[in-house]
Amino acid sequence: MSAGSESRPVKFEAWRLGLLYIIIFFVFVGFVIRLFNLQILDGDLYRTRAVDNYTNEVSVPAPRGIIYDRNGYILARNLAAYNIVVTPANLPEDDSDIQRIYRELSELLGIAAGNFVSADTETDGLILEVPGGLMMEEVLEEAKLFAACVDGPSIAQMVALQDTLAPYSPVKVRCNVSEEIARVVEEKKMDWPGVSVEIEPIRDYPTGSLTAHLIGFLGPIPATQEEELRAKGFVPNRDKIGYAGVETSMQDILAGRNGLKVVQIDVAGQEIRNLEPPIAPVPGHNVYLTIDTRLQAAAEATMMEEVRFWNTYFGQVRISSGVIIAMNPKTGEILAMVSYPGYENNRLSRFIPAYYYEQLSQDPRRPLLNNAISAEYPPGSTFKLSTATGAFNEGVVDLNTVVLTPGQLLLCERFNPNDPCTDFNTRPFVDYIFEQRPEGFGSLSFLQCIAYSSNVCFYKLGGGFEDEIPQGLGIERLQQYARALGYDNTSGIELPGEQDGLIPDPQWKRINTGENWSTGDTYIASVGQGYVLATPLQVLMSGSTIANSGKLMQPTVIRQVTDGDGNVVEMWFNPQDFTVTEFPTQGSYQISPFTPNMKWDITVTPLIQGYSCDGPYCTLTDDLKIVEPETIAAVRAGTRRTVTDNSFGTLSRLFGDFPIAVAGKTGTAEYCDDVARAADRCNFGAWPTHSWTIAYAPFDDPEIAVVAFAYNGGEGASVAGPMVERVIRAYFEIKAADIAQGAPSP
């Protein structure tokens, strides 16, 4: 080639090229050092970070246990709710296809499909490329203001937002659709790639408000418990926990344990494979209650009917709340528990609607409160069972004693033993019969005192009266006997929110009111008034203890617990910290398989702390004693006479002709609370009254004890009594039906 003929070799300065080589050398050596640092020295650190990048722990929800009644009737179950979801990554490539899907979905679901903009739209913000077309950034931002399942944003907005967050995770565009819509979407699967049906379990309560106070409802994990529950594998915002009733107390075993998958994900969040063998979720245990839904329904109907009747009769809301509890006194099984007013727990199952919760929590009748265990009322004359037991056991009275019961007693109100008795501090203590028969019942035996529920008799037994009964039972000893019958403490039943009631003593009064205990306080405490407060369940327990000849059974609503395969498992419940365990703990009692748990037998366990009394001054002694079986027998006989004595027996009209021997005690408890005061009902001598009745049957071998309570119901025998009668009747009818069908009696 001609161009190469003339060669003029180049001579550069050597140091200049040398410097170039040196620079190249040092740059490359620098890279090698850097690589050595990154890959060899810090290799483990970066490997860990790489593992963190692709490792994702996925919690697999465990199905919640089912709640049955004692006969296997379902009270709480899990139903499928259908959500229509869109997975952005699975949508078709073509924008017009996506827009078609949006339009068709919009027509089916009744939500906006959403609009797209063209590329040359005038806007201050950014125009983003989203599935289906272009969208202004501000429109996308709008969708961030809405929580899932809340109507508002269009399909295009929701999908576009999800596409920026996690394109491989589905976004719910419509929640809780009907099964038909879910089927349509399933059928269109081929035409609508990316659209699918998500099945979400929601809690369903077939018996609804009938058992709402017992079963309770579910709610989201509160922030205060988030850390603790997260450690147990719960996922906030997804998993729910019990907010009331058995759903709360049995939360530990109903919830089961969530499974765990450790999966490899790519940058878009798509699951590639399991990194570790997945831990399968453990389904929650199933819980069988002691409740008989039929008796529960009968009790609820009874309560509703009674409330309706009296409220209609008086033309105003007279009975604002009420309770019926039925229990087997020998086993402690609660067969029915009705607290009026109630609420519909199905309305709270998916999420808790603010308006409904507001309505419930602002209702002065407190429908969310289980009045059977969470409300305290003066027990009135039903408390006389405690006074009677104490007075008889302490020898204040015996079967041969005759007590004079005029229509009223004029007694001195003494705050100190040496207070003089003047006109000024003398006040009348009236018997309820005073208005009809000012002369009173006359001379009564101990059994008649119980049967007629004579206040005057019990004033004398409790507080003593002159020379007739020189030494009454006294408040200290009354407290001992009341406690032995189940008062003044929580029962430990498997329901949250239980109150402990109040049996006062002089020290309590000094601390809480700043006043000395007065003689009058003892008198009215002896008839279950004054400072005495009790929950309906406590009243039932006291009656059951008498019915069961002194054995106080642990009240329970749990009959048994089964695992996912239906095998009965052993479980213990600890009422102190509300835990359910597979082994006994300090203070726990067995709930599965069913075993009657006796709290104590007052004729065996020495529970009664002795007091030595010198006049009105009583001091504690260390010796403990039992309640003599004869005492229980005498009190039982008194409760039976309540039914059998046709002259003044308070339950004789209700149960006199009853085919089965019933025994019981009524109560008409005077009260004056804020509600009554506001309604101007608190008038001295004509106080508003709660209506109580406790009864059990059959008398010889009791298998059912029922308490009924009506707030502001009036006389015990005429309002609460009929309710008890109907529930006991229903119980024996159901039992007869069961036996007729060949079922073994429970």
Partner 1 sequence: MIRGISWRNFDFILLGAVTLASAFGVVMIRSAIAGNEVLAVSASRQVYFALLGIVLIFILAAIDYRYWLALYRPIHLAILGFLVTLTGFGQTAFGAQRWFQVGVLFLQPTEFAKIVAIIILARYFESTRDHPRDLRWVIGAVLRAAWIIGLILLQPNLSNVMVLSVILGVMLFVNGIQIRHIMIAAGLGALALVTVITLSVLGIRIPFLQAYQQERIVNFVVPDPNDTYGNRYNVQQALIAVGAGGLLGEGYGYGTQTQLRFLKVRHTDFIFAASSEEFGLAGSLLIILMLGVIIWRCIRAAQKARDVAGSMLALGVATLIFFQGSVNIGMNLNVLPVSGLPLPFVSYGGSGLTALMICIGLVESVAMRQKELEF
**Residues that bind partner 1 in the complex, under the rule CB under 8 A:** 1, 3-4, 7-10, 12-13, 16-17, 19-21, 24, 27-28, 30-32, 34-36, 38-40, 42-43, 45-47, 49-51, 53-54, 264-268, 272
Residue 617 host element (H or E): strand 617-625
CA atoms lying within 13 Å on the CB side of residue 22: 6
CA 582 to chain centroid, in Å, comes to 22
Largest CA distance in the chain: 153
- 3-state class (DSSP) for residue 54: helix
- Which is closer to partner 1, CB of 31 or CB of 617? 31
Instruction: Provide, rounded to whole angstroms, the least separation between the CB of residue 125 and partner 1.
Output: 16
Instruction: Provide, rounded to whole angstroms, the least separation between the CB of residue 23 and partner 1.
Output: 9
Instruction: Provide, rounded to whole angstroms, the least separation between the CB of residue 38 and partner 1.
Output: 5
Name the DSSP class of 605: S
- Which is closer to partner 1, CB of 36 or CB of 356? 36
- Which is closer to partner 1, CB of 49 or CB of 103? 49
285 burial class (0-12, 13-18, 19+ CB within 10 angstroms)? buried
CA atoms lying within 13 Å on the CB side of residue 700: 2
Instruction: Provide, rounded to whole angstroms, the least separation between the CB of residue 262 and partner 1.
Output: 14
- Which is closer to partner 1, CB of 60 or CB of 275? 275
Instruction: Provide, rounded to whole angstroms, the least separation between the CB of residue 230 and partner 1.
Output: 23
Residue 296 host element (H or E): helix 293-314
Which of 730, 710, 729, 712 has the alpha carbon at shortest distance from 720?
A: 710
Q: What is the DSSP string of 368-426?
A: TS-HHHH--B--GGGGHHHHHHHHHHTTS--TT--EEE-SEEEEE--SSTT----TTTE
Instruction: Provide, rounded to whole angstroms, the least separation between the CB of residue 135 and partner 1.
Output: 20
In the numeric block, which tokens belong to residue 326?
């039925």
- Which is closer to partner 1, CB of 18 or CB of 152? 18
Q: Report how far residue 232's alpha carbon sits from residue 483's, in angstroms, rounded to the nearest whole number.
A: 39
Instruction: Provide, rounded to whole angstroms, the least separation between the CB of residue 168 and partner 1.
Output: 12
- Which is closer to partner 1, CB of 193 or CB of 259? 193
Instruction: Provide, rounded to whole angstroms, the least separation between the CB of residue 5 and partner 1.
Output: 11
Q: Report how far residue 548's alpha carbon sits from residue 160's, in angstroms, rounded to the nearest whole number.
A: 69
Instruction: Provide, rounded to whole angstroms, the least separation between the CB of residue 223 and partner 1.
Output: 25
Which of 302, 283, 301, 299 has the alpha carbon at shortest distance from 291?
A: 299
- Which is closer to partner 1, CB of 32 or CB of 399? 32
- Which is closer to partner 1, CB of 52 or CB of 622? 52
Q: Phi/psi of residue 642, each to 5°?
A: -55, -35
Alpha helices in 91-197 (DSSP H): 95-109, 137-143, 155-165, 179-187
Which of 321, 291, 276 has the alpha carbon at shortest distance from 303?
A: 321
Instruction: Provide, rounded to whole angstroms, the least separation between the CB of residue 102 and partner 1.
Output: 24
Q: What is the DSSP string of 654-676?
A: HHTT-SS--EEEEEEEE---HHH
Which of 717, 733, 646, 697 has the alpha carbon at shortest distance from 543?
A: 697
- Which is closer to partner 1, CB of 53 or CB of 513? 53
- Which is closer to partner 1, CB of 163 or CB of 247? 163
Measuring CA to CA, how many Å separate 96 from each of 100, 116, 133, 193?
6, 11, 8, 13
Bridging pattern class, strands 240-242 and 133-136 = unpaired
- Which is closer to partner 1, CB of 71 or CB of 264? 264
Measuring CA to CA, how many Å separate 585 from each of 581, 582, 593, 658, 711?
8, 9, 16, 45, 38
Instruction: Provide, rounded to whole angstroms, the least separation between the CB of residue 250 and partner 1.
Output: 43
Q: Report how far residue 48's alpha carbon sits from residue 52's, in angstroms, rounded to the nearest whole number.
A: 6
- Which is closer to partner 1, CB of 13 or CB of 565? 13
Q: Report how far residue 571's alpha carbon sits from residue 561's, in angstroms, rounded to the nearest whole number.
A: 7
Instruction: Provide, rounded to whole angstroms, the least separation between the CB of residue 95 and partner 1.
Output: 16
Instruction: Provide, rounded to whole angstroms, the least separation between the CB of residue 36 and partner 1.
Output: 7
Contact at 8 Å (CB) between 84 and 185? yes
- Which is closer to partner 1, CB of 263 or CB of 304? 263
Q: Report how far residue 163's alpha carbon sits from residue 209's, in angstroms, rounded to the nearest whole number.
A: 42
Q: Phi/psi of residue 309, each to 5°?
A: -60, -50
174 burial class (0-12, 13-18, 19+ CB within 10 angstroms)? buried
- Which is closer to partner 1, CB of 4 or CB of 514? 4
- Which is closer to partner 1, CB of 115 or CB of 270? 270
Q: Phi/psi of residue 328, each to 5°?
A: -85, 110
- Which is closer to partner 1, CB of 38 or CB of 743? 38
* 615-627 b/e (C-beta count within 10 Å ≥ 16 → b): ebebeeeeeeebb
* 483-494 b/e (C-beta count within 10 Å ≥ 16 → b): bbbbbbebbbbb
Instruction: Provide, rounded to whole angstroms, the least separation between the CB of residue 216 and partner 1.
Output: 42
Instruction: Provide, rounded to whole angstroms, the least separation between the CB of residue 194 and partner 1.
Output: 16
- Which is closer to partner 1, CB of 273 or CB of 646? 273
- 3-state class (DSSP) for residue 259: strand
Which of 692, 698, 690 has the alpha carbon at shortest distance from 636?
A: 698
